C-alpha cells in the first residue's frame, strides 16, 4: 500500500500531530513565489554587483585597475570620431565612478542608474559599433554594454529596495 503524502505537498498546514512544522513548499510555489524580503535582498545584491562593476571600469580609465588609462581611452574616443574626446572620456569616467558608488550605496539610485544607462547606450552604439552583439567578436560586440543598460532600466523601474540609503533617508515613516 502506498502511503498518502498529499499533506506534505499541499498549500495548507498539515493537520497531523506535526502541525507545528511549517508546510513543505510545493513545486509551483518554488517556481513562482517570493517575499518582499527576498526581493529586497535581490535588489541589494544587484545594486552592489553593478555598482562595483561600474566603479572598477571607472578606475580602469584612471589607470588604477587593468592596463588602460585616461590617455588611452581619450585617444580611442578620438579615433572613433567622438567630439571633445578628452571631455567625453572624463564624463564617462566620472559617471562610472560616481554612478557606481551611488548604485552600491542605494543613494539616488534611479538618478545614478539613469546616467549609467546613458553611458551604456553610448558605449553600445558608438564604442562597440560594428562589433555585432557578442563581446567575444573582433572587434568586441555590444553585449556587455547592452546588458548593463538593461539592468539600469530594471533599477530605474524597480528602485533601490529596502536595504538602501534611499529607503533609510527618504521612505515615508
Residues 57 and 76 in one domain: yes
Is the Cβ–Cβ distance between 140 and 131 less than 8 Å? yes
pLDDT in the model for residue 121: 95
Q: Cα–Cα distance between 47 and 58 in angstroms, integer?
A: 16
Q: Cα–Cα distance between 85 and 123 in angstroms, integer?
A: 13
Domain region containing 1: 1-33
| Number of domains comprising the chain | 2
Residues 28 and 55 in one domain: no
pLDDT in the model for residue 22: 57
Residues 165 and 99 in one domain: yes
Look up cell 567575444; give the residue. Answer: 136
Cα 49 to chain centroid, rounded: 6
Residues 85 and 130 in one domain: yes
pLDDT in the model for residue 130: 80
Residue range 34-43, pLDDT digits in tens: 899 999 999 9
Residues 136 and 158 in one domain: yes
* Sequence-ordered list of residues with C-beta below 8 angstroms from that of 128, at least 6 positions apart, any chain: 139, 140, 141, 142, 145
The pTM of the whole model exceeds 0.85: no
pLDDT in the model for residue 128: 80
**Nearest Cα to 24, choosing from 3, 12, 6, 9?**
9
Residues 49 and 113 in one domain: yes
Residues 3 and 79 in one domain: no
Residue segments in the chain with a per-residue pLDDT below the cut of 70: 1-25, 173
Residues 28 and 82 in one domain: no
pLDDT in the model for residue 31: 85
Alpha carbon distance, N-terminus to C-terminus of the chain = 58
Residues 60 and 136 in one domain: yes
> HSE of 114 in the Cβ direction (CA atoms, 13 Å)?
8
Cα 156 to chain centroid, rounded: 10
DSSP class of 17: T
pLDDT in the model for residue 4: 55
Residue range 42-84, pLDDT digits in tens: 999 999 999 999 999 999 999 999 999 999 999 999 998 999 9
Residues 50 and 111 in one domain: yes
Residues 10 and 27 in one domain: yes
Residues 94 and 133 in one domain: yes
Is the Cβ–Cβ distance between 100 and 49 less than 8 Å? no
Amino acid at each position: 500500500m502506498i502511503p498518502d503524502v498529499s499533506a506534505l505537498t499541499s498549500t495548507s498546514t498539515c493537520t497531523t500531530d506535526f502541525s507545528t512544522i511549517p508546510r513543505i513548499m510545493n513545486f509551483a510555489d518554488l517556481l513562482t513565489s517570493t517575499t518582499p524580503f527576498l526581493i529586497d535582498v535581490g535588489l541589494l545584491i544587484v545594486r552592489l554587483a553593478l555598482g562595483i562593476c561600474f566603479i572598477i571600469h571607472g578606475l580602469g580609465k584612471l589607470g588604477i585597475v587593468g592596463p588602460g588609462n585616461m590617455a588611452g581611452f581619450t585617444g580611442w574616443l578620438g579615433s572613433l570620431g567622438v567630439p571633445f574626446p578628452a571631455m567625453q572620456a572624463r564624463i564617462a569616467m566620472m559617471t562610472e565612478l560616481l554612478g557606481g558608488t551611488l548604485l552600491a550605496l542605494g543613494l539616488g539610485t534611479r538618478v545614478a542608474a539613469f546616467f549609467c544607462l546613458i553611458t551604456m547606450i553610448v558605449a553600445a552604439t558608438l564604442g562597440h559599433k560594428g562589433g555585432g552583439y557578442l563581446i567575444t567578436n573582433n572587434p568586441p560586440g555590444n553585449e556587455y554594454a547592452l546588458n548593463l543598460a538593461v539592468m539600469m532600466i530594471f533599477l530605474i523601474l524597480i528602485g533601490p529596495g529596502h536595504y538602501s540609503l534611499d529607503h533609510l533617508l527618504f521612505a515615508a515613516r
